[in-house]
Structure 1
Amino acid sequence: MSRSMPEGSRTDWLATERTDLATTRILDVAEQLFVEHGVSAVTMRGLAKAVGCSRATLYRYYAGKAELLAAYVDRAATDLGASVAAAVGDESDPGDRLVAAVATAVAGVRSNPALSAWFVADSAGRSTSLALVSPAIEQLTVGFLTEILPTADLDDLRERARWLVRVIVSLLTGPAASELEERALVQRFVVPVILGSN
């Protein structure tokens, strides 16, 4: 004897699954195009063609290029956040955790051809803007700072998080001579500010 399902429930899960598959496919193809052509050269028309759908279909998922880029940044930030969490897991000293987190984030972006394409001269301004307004980046950065500054209030943590994101973007757009030098700069100039009195 089969159970009857409420009207509409048979396909509701399919709609969500199809949307997830479509957005994943679109972002995967966009990532490939970022590597091949650079972020600023990717257009919605070109992306639709590469994905194999109409522009109307693409706009069903992303209202425009700004929304597409924001979604990509959020997805990449979430993946990068997992790498940062793994890298700082064994560090007990808050300053050492902060240096390791910044170094891991910077190295993660640099080692990923799609992400590093965001920090070339013609894309750096847009990348900085997106990084500063990305909910995923803010959530990850504030969450990390909450671990090392448990007594700070949320507004203070958000300000520190925005400043930390600016530091990371600065290192990506204007790298120091070596990773060792960048770590030393973060230790000397960033750690005291981030961990200073709250």
Structure 2
Amino acid sequence: MAGNDWLSTRRTELAADRILDAAGELFATRPPGSVGMHDIAQAAGCSRATLYRYFENREALHTAFVHREAHALHHRMVEEINGIEDPSRRLVAGFLTSLKMVRESAALRAWFSTGDAPIGAEIAEQSDIIKAMSAAFVVSLGPDEPESVDRKARWLVRVLTSLLIFPGRDDEDERAMVEEFLVPIVTPGVTPAPRRTGQPAQGQAAQ
């Protein structure tokens, strides 16, 4: 019985992957928001009834696709920065590598296009799985308080999706922003100087 259960589960995973592969081919050429379940079923060579057996709606399929691609990207990024021990250098390398990998993937790049609703940013913001991967990256930079890890992880996701939607002028501009603004805040042991109580905010004249 256990063997049959395992086989059934494995077949389900293979079928779901086949559907997501077909969806990825469509996402690489068309805005994700314009790809319907009928299109995906046709590309995967299955009926809509079969498609809905694995994914109850388009939102569920979108989430599954982004999670699968994010897992793969995360593992590739970790492999690329393996051996970089300095927290600041590891942060810069990991962040910029992730940015580059998303942009190099036609199936993922479209999720952050300004010409269409940036569905990828919305999924990333709401996904506990993506936040968990981001938190694991923050922890790899050094010891930190759990509450701080959570905030930094959520902020890294927001900064990454922001640059995917609104890129910097060029690679050097983005690297400079990461080194100037991300490193002092995210790298353990380096925090911005607190503003004194009553001190006017930047750009606000003192009364």
Please report the TM-score for the alignment, with normalisation by the length of structure 1: 0.89
Matched, 1:160 2:152: yes
The 8 Å contact of residues 29 and 50 in structure 1, kept in 2 or not, is answered as yes
2:76 aligns with 83
Shift of 1:20: 0.8
Matched, 1:35 2:35: no
The 8 Å contact of residues 111 and 121 in structure 2, kept in 1 or not, is answered as no
Shift of 1:87: 2.3
The 8 Å contact of residues 73 and 134 in structure 1, kept in 2 or not, is answered as no
**1:1-198 correspondence runs (5 A):** 8-9=1-2, 11-153=4-146, 155-195=147-187, 196-197=190-191
1:5 aligns with none
Q: Aligned pair count?
A: 190
- The AA in structure 2 aligned to 1:142 is A
Consecutive unaligned residues in structure 1, runs of 5 or more: 1-7
Q: Secondary structure at the match of 1:36?
A: coil
User: Aligned partners of 1:127, 1:41: CA distance in 2, in Å?
Assistant: 14
Shift of 1:27: 0.5
RMSD: 1.7
- The AA in structure 2 aligned to 1:182 is E
User: Aligned partners of 1:101, 1:41: CA distance in 2, in Å?
Assistant: 32
Could you tell which deviates more after superposition, 95-104 or 115-124?
115-124
The 8 Å contact of residues 36 and 58 in structure 2, kept in 1 or not, is answered as yes
Q: Secondary structure at the match of 1:40?
A: helix
User: Aligned partners of 2:163, 2:129: CA distance in 1, in Å?
Assistant: 20
Q: Secondary structure at the match of 2:23?
A: helix
**For 1:68-119, what per-residue CA distance to the aligned partner results, in whole angstroms no more than 9, with x for missing partners?**
1111111111111112112222222211111111100000001111111111
Percent identical among aligned pairs is 38
- The AA in structure 2 aligned to 1:138 is K
Cα separation, partners in 2 of 1:193 and 1:109, compared to 1, 3 Å? same
Please identify runs of 4+ aligned residues in structure 1 that moved more than 6 A: none
- The AA in structure 1 aligned to 2:176 is A
Q: Secondary structure at the match of 1:106?
A: helix
Consecutive unaligned residues in structure 2, runs of 5 or more: 193-207
Please report the TM-score for the alignment, with normalisation by the length of structure 2: 0.86
Shift of 1:190: 1.2
Higher helix share: 1
Cα separation, partners in 2 of 1:124 and 1:82, compared to 1, 3 Å? farther
Cα separation, partners in 2 of 1:124 and 1:194, compared to 1, 3 Å? farther
Shift of 1:149: 3.4
